[in-house]
A = this chain, B = another copy of it.
Amino acid sequence: MFEDKNTQRTPIDQLGEFGLIKKITEGVTLQQESSQKGIGDDAAVIAHKGKTVVTTDLLIEGVHFDLSYVPLKHLGYKAVAVNLSDVYAMNAQPTQITVSLALSNRFPVEAVEELYAGIHLACKQYKVDLVGGDTTSSTTGLLISVTALGEGQEEKITYRSGAQENDLIVVSGDLGGAYMGLQVLEREKAVFKVNPQSQPDLSQYTYAVGRQLKPEARKDVIDLLDGLDIQPTAMIDISDGLSSELLHLAEASDKGLQVYEDKIPIDPEVLGIAKEFSLNPTTVALNGGEDYELLFTVKQADFDKIKSHPLLTVIGHMTTAKAGSHLVTGLGQQIALTAQGWNPLSQSDV
């Protein structure tokens, strides 16, 4: 952390445009049957049998990530994973990505290789093919634009808009970890600035820091729902905090909802860090971003299939639009949910 491990620094100019592209793309193999043509032509050619889903994200240095504590390999992995999360949130399977990079001349070839090592690792992990992109110079900093394509069957694709009254609201995994991990990293960065000799001990924060630096997209949840033969009625991924995503679901479905504070899954380590930072863990779970868990609704009849699954937690149910969207606290108070988000204008899908 905080040290430059790139001992070798080859300027990109030295390699040249075609040399860099060759380096980036060498070893890229296509593993998806639907990838008919990958890198190397004006466009990639994809042969999906089902519907194609497409989503895109832009990550910008200084806005979305801080290279003083984010290793480039992790960044590459995360840039892919957060996009795939949007594909899974449609109850579809990601199949291809394109990656565009803009980078200033402060990045040597070795840095680009590190970044792509993470991108390739994520491609391998999620079985998606890198089929195109664009590489360009930037006047400042690093920028990554990823577009993910996926494939879904018409009858399985799940929108935000399908939730019905009395449907159960379910979240995967646990919440607030990525945000608390970020707080820990920011604190250690501040300490490092004052004392560059300090060696941060992150051993107590492994889970939260891992959630921040190397989030995973919930392919396992989509596969699980498929295995349990559950068709969610509505789904969204949790990138901007639970509260904001609940409101998106409610609005798109023209319904209200009620969730219970004491049902919201939070990891014990995250509870501990929240205490250390004097933050209310529920607030962290509601408004902290970047968890990339899935939030979905299922029919009541599916309750038995999911009730004891360790990956899934029922946190509430849908009501009517008129009833509004509320959190029921541990003390039984109803609090209207607000879309605070955690980082306005920084990660907004349009």
| CB pair A147 B51 closer than 8 Å | no
Contact A52 B149 (CB under 8 A): yes
CB neighbours (8 Å) of A346 from chain B are 136-137
| Stretch in A90-98, A183-191, A195-203 touching the partner | A90-98
Quick check: is A138 within 8 A (CB to CB) of the other chain? yes
Give the CA-CA distance A339 to B145 in the complex, in Å: 27
Q: Are A43 and B100 in contact (CB under 8 A)?
A: no
Tell me whether A37 and B139 are in contact (CB under 8 A).
no
- Would you give the 0/1 interface string for A138-155, flagging 1 where the beta carbon is closer than 8 Å to chain B? 111101010111101010
- For residue A242, CB closer than 8 A to chain B, the reply is no
Chain A positions 243-261 with a Cβ under 8 Å from a chain B Cβ:
252
Chain B's nearest CB lies how many Å from the CB of A168? 20
B55 near A52: Cβ-Cβ < 8 Å? no
A143 x B140 contact (CB < 8 A): no
Instruction: Name the B residues within 8 Å of A98 (CB-CB).
Output: 54-56, 147
- List, in ascending order, chain B residues with CB within 8 A of A141's CB: 139-140
Extra 17 A-B pairs, beta carbons < 8 Å, given A43-B86, A43-B89, A43-B148: A13-B345, A18-B339, A36-B51, A42-B55, A42-B86, A43-B55, A43-B90, A45-B53, A46-B53, A46-B54, A62-B139, A64-B136, A100-B145, A133-B350, A135-B350, A136-B346, A139-B140
**Chain B min CB distance to A155 (Å):** 12
Instruction: Decide yes or no: A134 and B90 within 8 Å by CB, A40-B252, A100-B145 being known contacts.
Output: no
A110 to chain B, nearest CB (A): 17
Chain B nearest CB from A84 CB (Å) reads 10
Q: Does A25 contact B (CB under 8 A)?
A: yes
Is the pair B150, A43 in contact by a Cβ cutoff of 8 Å?
yes
Which A positions have Cβ atoms within 8 angstroms of B? 12-13, 16-18, 20-21, 24-25, 36-37, 39-48, 51-58, 60-64, 86-87, 89-90, 92, 96, 98, 100-102, 131-141, 143, 145, 147-150, 152, 154, 157, 159-161, 235-237, 252, 339, 341, 344-350
- Copy total for this chain: 2
> In the complex the two chains form, what is the Cα distance from A132 to B87 in whole Å?
13
User: Top 3 nearest A-B pairs by Cβ distance?
Assistant: A43-B55, A42-B89, A145-B145
In this complex, what residue of B is CB-closest to A234? B41
- Give complex CA distance A143, B145 in Å: 10
CB closest residue in chain B, given A53: B43
